[in-house]
């Protein structure tokens, strides 16, 4: 991954983390001056189930297709772009409370993302396929403390991505190269805010930068010939999610904030 992408992800995390805490704190203090006391829910139990929905904005992958030129094999870059898609996720986690460490395991599914590219000379023309990714991530978070019913957090994750590439078609060729599926190393950076709805339910607004590794097509085409694989690297995305964390054990009754 390039330094520009890492810098962009780090900057986005810093902005979300800096904005979340003051906004939550402002709500806490505005509520404290009202005559009628606001309710602050007791902290949820340490372990929880969660479900998420969201949208994934894809970066342009680094793509290559090896061609023959003058009797020699040369690797020519493909200028490719990858569409955006929806995502859904489920998981389970445990934490140490509204300030401290929290860990979870998440399984996320993404829809098909169409990929189109321009093939370099000598073949030229365009190629088209689609990529579908499922990730299994082991995430660690640090909850920054509680302001009213809001708890901002930052986090990081590592895990595996299962990338499935569909058949690849070329405008300059009649034959299609078959698709393939592979596992790749994945990692992510995250930030967000959890808002306590009840003693067991937390509404989670989150941002994630995720690198889903590499993917390749197969090598056999529709006529039975063997070809070089089309390779895709740096399958990255900026993802925004909203989810619900449901605690397996709750706290005491809600407390009134004066």
Compute the C-alpha angle 250/203/206, nearest 5°: 130
Place of tokens 């949820």: 44
Q: Helix, strand or coil for residue 9?
A: helix
H helix intervals, the chain: 3-32
Place of tokens 């169409």: 114
| Bridge partner list, 79 | 118
Give the Cα separation of 79 and 63 in Å (integer): 7
The pLDDT of residue 42 is 61
pLDDT tens for each residue of the chain, 258 residues long: 444 555 555 554 544 444 444 444 444 434 443 444 555 666 666 899 999 999 999 999 999 988 876 656 666 778 899 999 999 999 999 998 788 999 999 999 999 999 999 988 888 899 999 999 999 999 999 999 999 999 999 999 999 999 999 999 999 888 999 999 999 999 999 999 999 999 899 999 999 999 999 999 999 999 999 988 999 999 999 999 999 999 987 554 444 444
Query: Nearest-CA neighbor of 129 among 30, 232, 224?
Result: 232
Query: What topology is assigned to 3-36+46-250 in CATH?
Result: Porin (2.40.160)
The pLDDT of residue 70 is 61
Give the Cα separation of 71 and 113 in Å (integer): 35
The pLDDT of residue 169 is 95
Domain ranges of the chain: 3-36+46-250
Task: Specify the length of the chain in residues.
Answer: 258
Number of H helices, E strands in the chain: 1, 16
The per-residue DSSP string of 184-246 comes to: EEEEEEEEEEEEE-SSSEEEEEEEEEEE---EE--SBBTTS-B-PPEEEE--EEEEEEEEEEE
Give the Cα separation of 140 and 239 in Å (integer): 17
Residue 174's Cβ-side half-sphere holds a number of Cα atoms within 13 Å equal to 3
Give the Cα separation of 118 and 64 in Å (integer): 10
Place of tokens 């399958």: 235
Question: Would you call the peptide bond into 122 cis, given omega within 30 degrees of 0 as the criterion?
Answer: yes
Are 44 and 250 a contacting pair, CB within 8 Å?
yes
Q: Helix, strand or coil for residue 166?
A: coil
């Amino acid at each position: 991954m390039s330094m520009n992408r890492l810098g962009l992800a780090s900057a986005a995390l810093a902005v979300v983390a800096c904005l979340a805490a003051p906004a939550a704190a402002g709500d806490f203090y505005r509520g404290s001056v009202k005559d009628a006391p606001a309710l602050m829910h007791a902290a949820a139990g340490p372990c929880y189930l969660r479900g998420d929905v969201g949208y994934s904005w894809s970066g342009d992958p680094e793509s290559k297709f090896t061609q023959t030129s003058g009797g020699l094999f040369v690797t020519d870059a493909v200028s490719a772009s990858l569409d955006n898609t929806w995502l859904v996720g489920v998981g389970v986690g445990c934490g140490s409370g509204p300030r401290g460490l929290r860990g979870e395991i998440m399984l996320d599914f993404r829809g098909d993302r169409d990929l189109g590219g321009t093939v370099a000379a000598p073949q030229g023309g365009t190629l088209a396929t689609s990529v579908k990714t499922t990730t299994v991530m082991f995430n660690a978070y640090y909850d920054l403390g509680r302001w009213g019913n809001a708890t901002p957090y930052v986090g990081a994750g590592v895990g595996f991505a299962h990338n499935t590439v569909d058949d690849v078609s070329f405008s300059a060729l009649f034959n299609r190269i078959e698709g393939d599926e592979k596992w790749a190393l994945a990692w992510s950076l995250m930030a967000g805010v959890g808002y306590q709805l009840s003693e067991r339910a937390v509404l989670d607004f989150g941002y994630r930068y995720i690198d889903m590794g590499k993917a390749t097509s197969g090598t056999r085409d529709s006529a039975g010939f063997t070809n070089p694989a089309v390779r895709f690297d740096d399958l990255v995305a900026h993802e925004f999610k909203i989810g619900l964390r449901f605690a397996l054990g709750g706290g005491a009754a809600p407390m009134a904030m004066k």
